[in-house]
A and B are shown apart, each in its own frame.
Chain A
Amino acid sequence: MSEVATVARTAGSASPALIAAKGVSKIYTMGDQTVRALDDVSLEIGEGEFVAIMGPSGSGKSSMMNLIGALDVPTSGSLSIDGRDISKMSSDELAHLRNRTIGFVFQQFNLLPRTPALRQVMLPLLYASPKPGNAEELARKRLEQVGLASRMDHHPRQLSGGQQQRVAIARALVNNPKILLADEPTGALDTKTTAEIMQLFCDLNEEGITVIVVTHEPEVAEYAHRTIVFRDGRIVEDRQQSGYQRRAAE
C-alpha cells in the first residue's frame, strides 16, 4: 500500500497491452433492425492496471465487458487478450481462455446453490486441463486469501452477501488469472460491504492482477486508477486518476 507501489502501478499502463482493441464494433441483429452496441472502439489496457468501465445502460459497457471476458467475439475489428486475437477463436478456445486468463465476479455472485464454499471455488479447476492434482489445496488458499478460512464448508445460504461475493472472488482467482473482471460487483451490497470488497480488489491489484470493474457507481469507480466512460457505443472519456478513495480508506 505504499506510495511507491501506487506509482509503479500507474507506470504499469505503459507496459505491453494485456487487452488491445482495435476498431472493434459489435452489432446485434434483432429481427430486421440492427443495434450497434460498440462502434469502432479502440482501447488498450496494460498488465497490472485497475480500470473502471462506466456508462449508462445501453452505452456499450456491457458489450465491452463481454468481449473482454471472451464471452463474445467482435463483429468487426480485432481484440487481443494476452496477445491472442479472440475474433478468430473457436468456442472451445474461448472457453479455455476464460478458464486460464480471466476470473469473473458477478453482481448476483452466481454461486451454485447447496454447494459448500470450497467446492464453489474449485469449480474452475474442474474445467482446467490438465486438472491440477491439488485443486482442493488451491481453493483453500484462495478462501484464506479473501478472509473466509473459517467458512470453507458453508453453503451460500449460510453466508452474508459480502461473504458470498468473497467466495465468488476466491473462485475467480483460483486459476491464477491475469484479469479479474467484475460486473457491478457491489450492486447487491450495502455501503460498508462495498468498501470492504473494493478494498479487496485494491489489495489484489497491488499483488499484480489486472482488475477491470464495470460499474455505474462513481464511488466504486473512484477506487480505480483509470476510468473509461462509454456512451452510445463509443468511449467518451478515458482518464487516469490517483485512486484516492483507497488511500482515504487506509
Chain B
Amino acid sequence: MSLFDSLFVALSALRTNLLRSVLTTLGIIIGVGSVIIMVAVGSGATSEIDKQIASLGSDMLVVYPGASRVRGRSAGAGTTLPLSERDLQAIRDKVPDVVAISGYLQGSAPVVYGNMNWTTSIGGIHDQYLTVRDWPLAEGRELTPQDVMSGARVAIIGQTVAEKLFGGGDPIGAGIRIKNVPFEVIGVLSSKGQSSFGRDQDDIIFLPITAARGRIVGRSQVVNDQVGQIYVKFDPRADLKVAQEDVEIVLRERRRIRPGAEDDFNVRNLAEFLKARTAALSTMSWLLGATSAISLIVGGIGIMNIMLVSVTERTREIGLRMAVGGRRRDILTQFLVEAVTLSLLGGIIGVAIGIGGAAIVAFSAEWPILINAQAVMVAMAAAGMTGILFGFFPARRAAMLNPIDALRSE
C-alpha cells in the first residue's frame, strides 16, 4: 500500500473519532506550543542582549571606584578615593592597546530651553567618550580636546532630550540652561534605544567633564579632578583579560596600594556581565525545554494509549486487510502513519498556539520575541519522532496479529 493511501486511511480514521483525536494530541499540542513560546521569548531576549553587548562595545572595560570595607562590610561604591584625571592619564600612558579613553561623571539635572524644561541624566565626558561607546552623532560636532581642556559650555544631547526640548526644531546652536548655567548645543546623538535594563539611553546630555564637574555634578571633597568612572576602549585584537590585569597593575601602582591589600577600584567587562545574564537566561530556557520534553513524552504516551485502543477496536478491520492481501509491513505502516499524522497534527496546532502565545507575551509584556523557523522545525520533528516512537509499539502489535484470530474477534 502506498504512503499516500496510508495517509488517506489514517486521516479518515482520525476524522471518524475527531474529538478523541484532538484530546489525544493535547499533550503534543501543549509540548510543542510551550517549546515555541519558550524559544520565541528566550531568543528574543538573547538577541536583545546581543544588541546591548554590541551597543556597549565588546572591547571595552569600565573602571569604577571601589567600595571601602568597614569591618568587613562593604560601604558601597564610591566610598573610597574617587578616580581622578591622574588615574585616567596613567591608564592611557602605561596600558598597551588603549584606543580611546574617557571619564564619565554622572549626574542629573533639570534642563531649560525657552519655556520648555526637562529633567535628564547628565554625563560629564572626555572628547573620546563617544568613540569608546561607538556612539555616532546624528548631527552637529563632537567634543574637541580643546572643549574639555577649557571647560567649554557646550552640550551634546540625546534624541529624547532633543525631542522634549525642541520638538521638531533644530537644536544645533541653541542655548540651553542646565542648573542655570548656559550651554550651547553642538551635537545630537543618534538613537540608541532602551538598555537591557529598560532605561532610555537617549534621555541624556553629555558635557565636557570639566564643565560638568562642580557646577553640574557635585565636586568631590577628596580630589578636585575626579572623573567618576573611566571607560577604556581597547584595540579589538587585544586580549581583554590581559588588558584588565594591566589596568589593575597600573592603578594599584598609581594609587599606591600595598601588596596584599584589596583594590580600591573595580575593573569590569560589561560585555562579560551581560553574557552571564544571557547564560542565566539560557539555563532558564533549558528548564522550560525540559518541561516541554516531559509534556511531549506524556503526549506520546497518550498517543500510544489511544493507538492501542484503536488497534483493539479495529482488530477485525486489521484481519480483513490481511485477508485481502495486506502484508504485515502494510499494517505496521498504516498504524505508524496514523500515529505520526496524529502527532504532527498536534504539532501544527501546537505551533499555531505557540506563535499566538508568543505574540500575546510580546504584546502584553512588551517583551521582544523572535520566532525562528529552526525552533518550529525542531518542535515539529520532536512531535513526529514522538509519533514514531510511541506509535511503533501499537503498530507492531497490529501487524503481528494472526489474521484468523483478528477476523474472528468481536
Segment touching A, from B74-82, B187-195, B316-324:
B316-324
Instruction: Tell me if A128 is interfacial: C-beta within 8 Å of chain B.
Output: yes
Instruction: List CB contacts (< 8 Å) of B356-410 with chain A.
Output: 403-404, 407
Among A72, A92, A98, A115, point to the contact of B324 (Cβ < 8 A).
Answer: A98
CB-CB under 8 A from B126, the residues of chain A are none
Among B1, B323, B327, point to the contact of A92 (Cβ < 8 A).
Answer: B327
CB-CB under 8 A from A127, the residues of chain B are 1, 321, 324-327, 330
Instruction: List CB contacts (< 8 Å) of B1-23 with chain A.
Output: 1-2, 5, 12, 16
Bound CA–CA A171/B321 (angstroms): 12
CB-based nearest B residue for A131: B2
Bound CA–CA A4/B326 (angstroms): 40
Whether the Cβ atoms of A91 and B327 lie closer than 8 Å is yes
Instruction: List CB contacts (< 8 Å) of B221-250 with chain A.
Output: none
Known contacts: A95-B322, A126-B1, A127-B1. The answer to whether A114 contacts B327 by CB under 8 A is: no
Whether the Cβ atoms of B404 and A96 lie closer than 8 Å is no
Bound CA–CA A131/B8 (angstroms): 16
Whether the Cβ atoms of A123 and B407 lie closer than 8 Å is no
Whether the Cβ atoms of A110 and B325 lie closer than 8 Å is no
CB-CB under 8 A from B1, the residues of chain A are 126-127
CB-CB under 8 A from A69, the residues of chain B are 323
Most A CB contacts (10 A, CB to CB) among B5, B12, B325, B327 go to B325
Whether the Cβ atoms of B404 and A124 lie closer than 8 Å is no
Whether the Cβ atoms of B324 and A171 lie closer than 8 Å is yes
Among A96, A98, A112, point to the contact of B317 (Cβ < 8 A).
Answer: A112
How would residues 175 to 186 of chain A score, 1 for a CB under 8 Å from any chain B CB and 0 otherwise?
A: 100000000000
Give the shortest distance, in Å, between B407 (CB) and chain A (any CB): 7
Whether the Cβ atoms of A126 and B16 lie closer than 8 Å is no
Known contacts: A110-B320, A113-B16. The answer to whether A128 contacts B327 by CB under 8 A is: no
Whether the Cβ atoms of A99 and B317 lie closer than 8 Å is no
Whether the Cβ atoms of A71 and B403 lie closer than 8 Å is yes
Instruction: Tell me if A166 is interfacial: C-beta within 8 Å of chain B.
Output: no
Known contacts: A71-B404, A110-B316, A127-B330. The answer to whether A98 contacts B12 by CB under 8 A is: no
Whether the Cβ atoms of A72 and B404 lie closer than 8 Å is yes
Bound CA–CA A98/B403 (angstroms): 12
Bound CA–CA A104/B323 (angstroms): 7
Instruction: Tell me if B328 is interfacial: C-beta within 8 Å of chain A.
Output: yes
Instruction: Tell me if A194 is interfacial: C-beta within 8 Å of chain B.
Output: no
CB-CB under 8 A from B330, the residues of chain A are 95, 127
22 A-B pairs with C-beta separation under 8 A = A69-B323, A71-B322, A71-B403, A92-B327, A92-B328, A95-B325, A95-B326, A95-B328, A96-B325, A98-B322, A106-B320, A110-B320, A110-B407, A113-B16, A123-B324, A124-B324, A126-B5, A127-B1, A127-B326, A131-B2, A171-B324, A175-B325
Q: Lowest 8 CB-CB distances: which A-B pairs, in order?
A: A99-B325, A127-B325, A124-B324, A95-B327, A110-B320, A92-B327, A104-B323, A127-B326
> CB within 8 Å of B: which residues of A?
66, 69, 71-72, 91-92, 95-96, 98-100, 104, 106, 110, 112-115, 123-124, 126-128, 131, 171, 175
For the complex with contacts A91-B327, A98-B323, A175-B325, 9 further pairs of A-B residues with Cβ separation under 8 Å are A95-B325, A98-B324, A110-B407, A112-B317, A114-B12, A123-B324, A126-B2, A127-B326, A131-B2
